[in-house]
Structures are given as structure tokens and as C-alpha cells.
Chains A and B, each alone.
Chain A
């Protein structure tokens, strides 16, 4: 089948294959160490760590999505948090519906916050979220449609570089303001929380937690495979051509706006899926997820890992967030200092991230016996979008 062949295209690089194996292995090992190993053992992973790791993997998925547009298309999105949050809200709305009459007010039709606001009936856009399938469709559709519309306008008018970044930031900021409003019908300030079940299974139970974790790992692997297939195809080459010399591609007959729009929308959907898996694991989604700072943090995960490498951002997200967990536990005061320094250090000294560094070291080690051809490392795709046009 066409699509399988397309996916198989993602398996060309050994690095990707290795990463897929590792991710899936983690997806299995963590739940096993949590459920099957006795709590006393040194290998036991405590209950609260499973959703924490799950959260990291969701962030990794968001960073991967960002890399697809930033690394390969030169679009530095400062608004991917919006897609992440929209996916999260779509899932959250379904989980709210599953609460049913077990809310504080015991209202079978309306979620608690609507009862609290004295609403009489369910707003139209909440209909359908009773169905898990519908919610899953919305997880992809909500961020996908937003990205499509936004990208269609932005790319068509040839907005690029920092302008585009700023506009994406404005987008997520506008959504932040909107979702804070109570009358939007998304729970306002408090967002959606107090979830009980998913598909009838208790969210607090160890098995559901483990299943969710495995699913997150699975989707991360799937997204990585899709991204690798996209990047490895001829389309991926066009994408990079657009990144490096957008005006030139036009004179070859390509429509850069359409080319970018596809990657952009796919990336937004990936971020949405990440958000959807994030919500049941952390148990809450609120407008804070739309905060511009969140989106920019995603960028640093990608940058630290190494943009344009797909695998790098996954590692970057996990690394940075593990560091964040450690800092906020031990030295909460200093986390922002560390994060700020990380931004500066990465951009100054690690333009290709950790992955770039590793690649360079491996390349050097290998190039010695082989001669000139290998030595010439891929030039950094410097400021592709800003410089063009």
C-alpha cells in the first residue's frame, strides 16, 4: 500500500530505527518496572513517576512536531503550545463528559463549572464530546484546522522569519486571553479538571496509567516514523529547499505556501496529539498552557536537542524537563536562571544542539580514515527563513 511504503521511507536511517526501538522499549519497560517489580526493589518505578515520564514523552512529541517545521522548514513557531493545548482541551472535554453526574454538583448534563456559572444548557460546541471517537477526531481537527487557516493566511502573504514567529506568538496569546474568559465555555481560569475515567477505566488505577504511558511512547514512535518519512521523501527535499531559498523554489514552479502549509498542519496535529495524551496523565488542562512562555520553552527543548535531527529534540525535551523537575525540587529559585542560561548557551555554543555535537564528533572520528568527502559536514542551515526574501 502507498502509505506503508511511505512510512517505510522513514526507516532509511539507522539512527531513526534505533530511536524507534528505544522509545518502544521504554514504553514497555517503564510500566513493567512499575507494575511487576516489587515496590522495595531498586528497579521499582514509583507510581507518581509513571505519569511524570509520560509527561516528558508528551513534551518530546511536541518538540518533535516543532522540529518538523523549525528544523526542516525554517518556521520558528512561538505558538506550538497553542496546538498542544487545543489537543489537550479536546481530550479534556471528553474526560469532562465522562465524569457524568459524579461532579460536585451532581448535574448529569452540565460540567461543574457550567453549573457554577448558572448555565442552563450545554453549549453547542460541547456536543459530540461524549463520544471518544469524536473527541479523538477533534484532537487532530482542532489544532489542524487552526494551523491550516493560520498558515494559509500567513504563508500566502509571504510572512516569514521573525515576523512569522511574532505572529505565532500573538496567536497563542490571543487564545490564552480567550480561554481565560468564563463565557468561552472552556472552564475559564480553572480549565478542565477532576477527571475520573477514560473509556470507563479509572484514571487513577495503575493499569490505566501504564497503558497511557505505553500509548504515549507508541504515538511518539509513530510520529517520529511519520516525521522521518516526510523528511526523507522528495517532499522533504522540497521542504528544505523552501527553507533555504524560498523565492528560488517559486521560479522552479513550486508553491512554497502550500508546501509549508502541509508540514505546518501535520506538525500542529502532532502537537495536538501530544496535548491529548498529556491531559489524562497530568489530570488538568487550563489556559496557562497557552502562555507564550510555554511555547518558547518548547523551542528550547528542540534547540538543545538539535533541530533538524528529529531524534535530537526528543532527547532535548526529556533532558530539559528532567532538569526542570530536579531544579524545582531542589533549587526552585534558580530554575529560571538556569533556563535562561540554557537559552543563551545553546544559541551561542550549540547551534545544532546536542545531536549536532554528537554528529560532529562521530563525523570527525569517521572522516579521518576516509578523506575529504566525509569531512565536509553539512553546513548549518543558518537563519534560513530570515535571510531569504
Chain B
């Protein structure tokens, strides 16, 4: 609902802007004359009469004035002029051009709730015939929600002229909503129910459900109930779709966070406990890039993420390389010690970031193309999540290519499958290890860029993801990119489906328990490497 409301408001804002362009209608003067009658309307019935007159005139030019009236901005000057007072500016109520200054005090045209409701209806009636289809659409929607029988005539008239198929069907639905309550012919009502049920969204459900409780005719009532059930099942499907989408988006975040870990674990057999901190470094790189851009090149903000991606890859990758060369290389064959040493690194990195950037969340902005949301049917999709899913798929594709088509990938796979053999065949395993570690860390860095868009950037960022990433790796199995993808997506979707029933925390606990049980069946994950070498 709030979304719809926002949409309506947005449209009206567009409307207000649109009118000056189309404003040069022949009857602007006529509308002005009617609007000026507000000056003398001191009682509510008189105000209502003026509004009705504006509605009868049937010209969308009256809309700004009506909106201003609704918002309490419509004022009467001592000289009898009617003006809109918006902020410090005074505007002409019809042309919306700046009005001449006023001497003395302005007097507000008074309204009350019933009048405001009436204004809304009149505006929708007026806008039914606006030139822009989007505006007509909104008007039809407004009528659908109010189901105000008074609008029926205007609606029928508009419907007769309507050429846009989408708008037309919305108008038909609006008419059905009116007829459902206004008509007492069961046949008409049944037809209306069919139309409304076909619409199948939350509003349709509200209209039908309300009606089902008060219908006088048993048949119609039964049909309405049926319609309600039908809509509910449609909505349940959309809800499931929404959950899947949330799950996929969470899953791709998990995938991004885990894939680097899976690669290093697969190739080198070591768990990098500082992996989460690599993600954090990527997020802070984004922060630094945005800070620099804000201070020096404000125009480039839209590109901040594109700039941050390679930088984050380099920063985290370099830290990873240093770690491998400085520490991990000396611990080869001792995976448990490696785990501890990398934990030590994670403590140091965390504290270093805390010392440099402070312990609190840092603000990382979304560029415009990452902000906002749109609807698919009844599903709401935020751009940032969508881009992260797309990004995760790109990373996956790129890694797939790198692993299967490049010499380094070939060598990495060889080392994963049989380190000793690979080494005997002349593959320089230390070199492969170093590059693998740098690659895994670098990917964590770019995951950090993505995460900075949807999560708080704080020194603890890595901690929040590390256990989840482990679970993805344990679940998906190592040495196979698909395992991580499927593991991440599965855990994401399962998590989101559990949440409504179990709550976020319990859901997470259930997943952990599930994974602990899962590795009973498959101790090496979904996509385990096979063969003797792994035993």
C-alpha cells in the first residue's frame, strides 16, 4: 500500500510539472474564473460547490489548484486574488507562474476531511482524460480504490475514448469496482467480480473481501468469496516469488562472500579465517574511493563503484599475496595452524581498520542506478539487490572462464586434484598457491564493494559473513565453482523461506543445525571431489 501511495504522489508531482507545458489551453481563463470563486467561498458548502464546478469543467488544468487546496496552500489575498503559497513563493493557481506580490495578510481557503476526500475524487475524475497515459492510469487506480459511484459517469466517458489497452483495462477494473457496490443486478455484479478477481492484487483482494462480507445476494457473495480465494492463491504465489527473489539475492551475497574462500580452500586446503576481513577491506576501499570523489571530483560519483572494483581487487589481493608469502607458505601441510595464523591476521586487520577509520559505521553511498526499487507484478525488486545478483553471476562467469580456459586455471585445478602429481609435472605449486590466494582474496575484495551497497561498512563487516561463508563452502563442497553457487543460492533461499515461520535468528540456527546434519550424509559437501587423492 505505501508503495502505491508513493506512486500516486510521484505521478502528481509529475503532473504539476507537466501542466505548464500543456497549459496553453483555450479555457485556462475559464478555469481561472472558477478558481477565483474560492475567494468568496467562506463556508464549506460553498467550497464544495466550487470544487464541483471545477470537476464539471472537466479540464486537468484545475488539478494544481485542487492539489494546493488539499495541501492547505491555496490562499486568498486581501485584494480577492486566489494564489498558491508554496514556501516563500506565491504562484498563480492555474498557470503556476509567479504571482504578483500581495499586500497584507493571506487567508487560507479552509477544508475539512470530507472535502479533501472529495478533492481526491475530483482530481482523479479530471485526470482520467489527461493526455499522458500514466496519469490516466493513476486516476483509474484512485477510482478503483475509492469505488466512488459519483465517478461512474466520468469513468464511462473516459473509457469510451480510451485507446491505450493497459489504461483501458485498469479503467474497466475501476468501473467493475464501482458497479460491484453500486449495481444491484447480480449478473452485472458477477461480471464485475470476474474482472476484479482477474486483477489479482492486494487492492483487488481488499475490494472483494470487503464486498464478500456485506453482499446481499448469496450467489454474488459466493462468487466474491471464490474471487477472494483465487486472489489469495495468486498472491501466495507472488509471495513465494518474492521470497525466492530475496533468497536469490541473499544467496548471491553469500556466494560472493564465499567463492574466494572456496577457491583457496579447494586449491590449498587451507581455511582463511581472515577472508571476512578481505571483504571488509574491499568495502573500505569503496568508502575511500567515494570520499576522494566527493572531495575532488563530485561529478564522477556515479562511477565510484566501477572505480572501486579494480581497486578493491588490488588492495585485498595484495594483502592476500603478502599473507601467503609471509605466513601461509611456511605452514603448508598444516591446515589447522594455518587457520590459527590467519585468524591472527584477521584480528590485526580488524584492529588496524578500527584504528584508521574509527569503530563506527562509515557512510558508503549508492549511486543513482543502485537506488530505488520497481515492481514486477506484486514483487518488489530493489535495484541494488538486482545489480548484486547480476554482479555475482558475472563474477561466477568470469571465474568459470578463468578456471576452465586459462593456464592458471588449469594449473589450479591440477593442484586441487593432486598436489604432488601437479608438482611432479613441473607446475610451480608455490607460485600457483600465491596466485590462488591473491585471487581468492581479490574476489573477497570485490565482494566487499558489493556488500558496501547493502550493509553497514564497519570493522566488524567481515565477522558477520565469515561463518555464513564457511557454511556455504561446507555445504557446497570445495574444488568446484558450481558447488559454491548452488550452495550459496540454496542456503539463501532456504533462509528466506524459514524466516517467516521461524524468525531470522531461529531460521539461522536451523540452517546451522541442518548443515551439521547434512555433512553426516555428505562429509565433503554437495559437489565433492572424487577419487583417491582426496582420501
Q: Is B470 an interface residue (CB 8 A)?
A: yes
Interface segment among A80-88, A124-132, A341-349: the answer is A341-349
Q: Is A166 an interface residue (CB 8 A)?
A: yes
Chain A residues near B508 (CB, 8 Å)?
174, 177
Task: Give Cα distance in the complex from A99 to B471, angstroms.
Answer: 41
Q: Is A6 an interface residue (CB 8 A)?
A: no
Q: How far is the CB of B111 from chain A (nearest CB, A)?
A: 45
Q: Is A38 an interface residue (CB 8 A)?
A: no
Chain A residues near B327 (CB, 8 Å)?
344, 348
Q: Is B535 an interface residue (CB 8 A)?
A: yes
B341 touches A344 (CB 8 A): yes
Task: Give Cα distance in the complex from A76 to B318, angstroms.
Answer: 29
Cross-chain contact of A385 among B336, B346, B515 (Cβ < 8 A): B336
Most B C-beta atoms less than 10 A away, residue of A163, A292, A342, A346: A163
Chain B residues near A165 (CB, 8 Å)?
271, 336, 339
Q: Is A376 an interface residue (CB 8 A)?
A: no
Give the contacts of B240-287 with A (CB-CB under 8 A). Answer: 265, 269-271, 273
Q: Is A13 an interface residue (CB 8 A)?
A: no
Interface segment among A29-37, A218-226, A267-275, A331-339: the answer is A331-339
Q: Assuming the A-B contacts A336-B351, A337-B348, are A296 and B343 also in contact, with contact meaning beta carbons closer than 8 angstroms in the complex?
A: yes
Task: Give Cα distance in the complex from A162 to B272, angstroms.
Answer: 11
Task: Give Cα distance in the complex from A385 to B334, angstroms.
Answer: 9
A163 touches B347 (CB 8 A): no
Task: Give Cα distance in the complex from A166 to B262, angstroms.
Answer: 13
Task: Give Cα distance in the complex from A150 to B351, angstroms.
Answer: 34
Q: Is B293 an interface residue (CB 8 A)?
A: no
A303 touches B271 (CB 8 A): no
B339 touches A76 (CB 8 A): yes
Q: Is A387 an interface residue (CB 8 A)?
A: yes
Q: Mark A53-74, 1 if CB is under 8 A from B, else 0.
A: 0000000000000000000000
Q: How far is the CB of A267 from chain B (nearest CB, A)?
A: 16
B467 touches A181 (CB 8 A): no
Chain A residues near B265 (CB, 8 Å)?
162
Q: Is B521 an interface residue (CB 8 A)?
A: yes
Chain A residues near B467 (CB, 8 Å)?
169-170, 173, 292
B337 touches A389 (CB 8 A): no
B271 touches A348 (CB 8 A): no
Q: Assuming the A-B contacts A153-B520, A169-B467, A336-B348, are A163 and B340 also in contact, with contact meaning beta carbons closer than 8 angstroms in the complex?
A: no
Which residue from chain B places its CB closest to the CB of A160 in the assembled complex?
A: B523
Q: Is A198 an interface residue (CB 8 A)?
A: no
Chain B residues near A167 (CB, 8 Å)?
474, 515-516, 519
Most B C-beta atoms less than 10 A away, residue of A167, A300, A385: A167
A157 touches B335 (CB 8 A): no
A333 touches B355 (CB 8 A): yes
Give the contacts of A132-165 with B (CB-CB under 8 A). Answer: 150, 153-154, 156-159, 161-163, 165
Q: How far is the CB of B151 from chain A (nearest CB, A)?
A: 50
Q: Is B331 an interface residue (CB 8 A)?
A: yes
Which residue from chain B places its CB closest to the CB of A384 in the assembled complex?
A: B336
Main secondary structure of the interface of B (DSSP, over half): helix
- Size of chain B's interface in residues, with CB distance under 8 A? 46
B347 touches A336 (CB 8 A): yes
Cross-chain contact of A170 among B344, B351, B470 (Cβ < 8 A): B470
Chain B residues near A339 (CB, 8 Å)?
344, 347
Cross-chain contact of B336 among A154, A158, A161, A346 (Cβ < 8 A): A161
Task: Give Cα distance in the complex from A340 to B347, angstroms.
Answer: 5
B344 touches A383 (CB 8 A): no
Most A C-beta atoms less than 10 A away, residue of B330, B340, B474: B340
Q: Assuming the A-B contacts A337-B351, A341-B348, A347-B331, are A162 and B339 also in contact, with contact meaning beta carbons closer than 8 angstroms in the complex?
A: yes
Give the contacts of B518-535 with A (CB-CB under 8 A). Answer: 519-521, 523-524, 535
Task: Give Cα distance in the complex from A167 to B520, angstroms.
Answer: 11
Q: Is A16 an interface residue (CB 8 A)?
A: no
Q: How far is the CB of A71 from chain B (nearest CB, A)?
A: 12
Q: Is B68 an interface residue (CB 8 A)?
A: no
B520 touches A157 (CB 8 A): yes
Q: Is B517 an interface residue (CB 8 A)?
A: yes
Q: Is A299 an interface residue (CB 8 A)?
A: yes
Q: Mark B74-102, 1 if CB is under 8 A from A, else 0.
A: 00000000000000000000000000000
Task: Give Cα distance in the complex from A24 to B506, angstroms.
Answer: 44
Q: How far is the CB of B519 from chain A (nearest CB, A)?
A: 6
Task: Give Cα distance in the complex from A270 to B350, angstroms.
Answer: 32
Which residue from chain B places its CB closest to the CB of A74 in the assembled complex?
A: B336
Q: Is A51 an interface residue (CB 8 A)?
A: no
A157 touches B519 (CB 8 A): yes
Chain A residues near B344 (CB, 8 Å)?
339-344, 347
Q: Is A351 an interface residue (CB 8 A)?
A: yes
Task: Give Cα distance in the complex from A336 to B460, angstroms.
Answer: 13
Task: Give Cα distance in the complex from A333 to B355, angstroms.
Answer: 8
Q: Is A386 an interface residue (CB 8 A)?
A: yes
Cross-chain contact of A389 among B336, B509, B535 (Cβ < 8 A): B535
Q: Is B422 an interface residue (CB 8 A)?
A: no
Chain A residues near B338 (CB, 8 Å)?
347
Chain A residues at the B interface, C-beta cutoff of 8 Å: 76, 150, 153-154, 156-159, 161-163, 165-167, 169-171, 173-174, 177-178, 180-181, 247, 292, 296, 299-300, 303, 333-334, 336-337, 339-344, 346-348, 351, 382-383, 385-387, 389
- Sample 15 A-B pairs with CB under 8 A, ordered by A number: A154-B519, A157-B519, A159-B523, A162-B265, A167-B515, A167-B519, A296-B340, A334-B351, A337-B351, A339-B347, A341-B348, A344-B345, A347-B341, A383-B333, A385-B336
Sorted nearest first, the 4 A-B pairs with minimum C-beta distance are: A343-B344, A340-B347, A340-B348, A336-B351
